[in-house]
Amino acid sequence: MIRTLLSDDLPRSRALTVLLIGIVLCLALAPFLFPGVRTVDTAARICIFVVLVASYDLLIGYTGIVSFAHTMFFGLGAYGLAFGLIHIDRSYLAMGLGTLGGALAAAVVALLVGLFSLRVRAIFFAMITLAVASAVAVLFSQLSSITGGEDGLTFKLPRSLGPAFKFGTETLDGRLFGVRLNGKLLAYYLVFFCCVLLFLALLRFVNSPFGRVLNAIRENEFRAEAIGFPVIYYRVAASCMSAIAAAFAGALYAVWLRYVGPDTTLSMEIMLNVLLMVVIGGMGTLYGAIIGAAVFVLAQNYLQTFMESAASLVEGIPVMPNFLTADRWLLWLGLLFVISVYFFPKGVVGRLRRGKTVPH
């Protein structure tokens, strides 16, 4: 049953299995294990970025395509859902139609970019995607009458997903294990279960015959073409699939934030963060997306708090409090990335699967 659910792609490492199960269980029970607005928000962001990172790994890790336009597809999905809720109504049908519209737009853009650009060398394709993504971000920032410009769009979800919606029997008094049974809890589990389904779909895709051809193209493009596989067709199809998954992740991000804007979905900062998560987790393995997203989002949200605590502990030591000040959290985040690349050159997943000692 488990093998079938995971498309016969098991972690192949006891330590990795324990780590993945721990992360998934923490995410599944986050509202009950870590009650609080900030912790639940962090868990929801991890779920969404797992899908976004996995969809990008489909390109860079499984197909060997370097793209800087992935947040463009992420943004198209988010704006699609927002347009559906604003221009149709506050219903699940509008959410579905908006999400499908955003995913279709992402697929069409990925198809056009792929057909015109994937024939060139990798570095030139990366530059083309960067130019297209930048142009789309500027376009969405300027079309204030449609996209809200720099201010973005705020919209209302169906009432059952709002904090004011209560559910549960009278005996529970609106709480379960001390957690309020409201629409925000439903929204979290909507995000969680949709992310689980999307991740399993991507896992199935990369372990299908189509996915194995993508691996062959990544390893040796000329040999794959010589034995009869149309390389451009497979690369374009993989690009479209990756764009659709990113658009779904963007729609879920919009559901959670109840807001969409250029800075939250289309910025180059998000693209760089996704690239870092792929490297930390390990390219060419979707399980790396789970670990990379969890490590990076946790560091992004709690590293400052940790540094404040550490600085208070070394107050009597010269220089150390200044070195550990929370204002320098980006420096420590950069050091964390450098250390992870040095000790885990193939990512955490690659390191755990290999099971050898860490180099000295």
Q: Is 334 among the domain residues?
A: no
Q: Of the spans 4-13, 183-192, 219-228, 297-306, which averages the highest pLDDT?
A: 183-192
Q: Is 242 among the domain residues?
A: yes
pLDDT at 122: 67
Nearest Cα neighbor of 52 from 241, 262, 289, 238 is 289
Instruction: For residue range 21-62, list pLDDT tens digits in order.
Output: 999 999 999 999 888 889 999 999 999 999 999 999 999 988
Q: Is 193 among the domain residues?
A: yes
Q: Is 132 among the domain residues?
A: yes
Query: Per-residue pLDDT averaged across 184-191, rounded?
Result: 94
pLDDT at 320 over 80: no
User: Which residues, at least 6 apart from 22, have a Cβ–Cβ distance to it below 8 Å?
Assistant: none
Of 102-106, 117-121, 199-203, 355-359, the least confident:
355-359
Of 309 and 26, the structure prediction assigns the larger pLDDT to 26
CA gap 326, 321 in Å, rounded = 10
Query: Per-residue pLDDT averaged across 274-292, rounded?
Result: 92
Please name the amino acid found at residue 342. Y
Round the average pLDDT of the chain to a whole number and report it.
Answer: 87
Helices of type H across the chain: 2-5, 14-28, 30-33, 37-60, 70-87, 92-117, 122-142, 144-147, 183-206, 209-219, 221-226, 231-257, 262-265, 268-281, 287-313, 320-323, 329-343, 347-354
Query: Per-residue pLDDT averaged across 88-95, rounded?
Result: 92
CA gap 251, 246 in Å, rounded = 9
Query: Per-residue pLDDT averaged across 266-275, rounded?
Result: 92
Q: Is 174 among the domain residues?
A: yes
Q: Is 187 among the domain residues?
A: yes
pLDDT at 356 over 60: no
Quote the domain boundaries for residue 94: 38-284
Q: Is 204 among the domain residues?
A: yes
Give me the number of domains the chain comprises: 1
Q: Is 305 among the domain residues?
A: no
Per-residue pLDDT band for 225 (boundaries 50, 70, 90) equals: confident
Task: Give ∠ CA 137-141-142 in degrees, rounded to 5.
Answer: 120
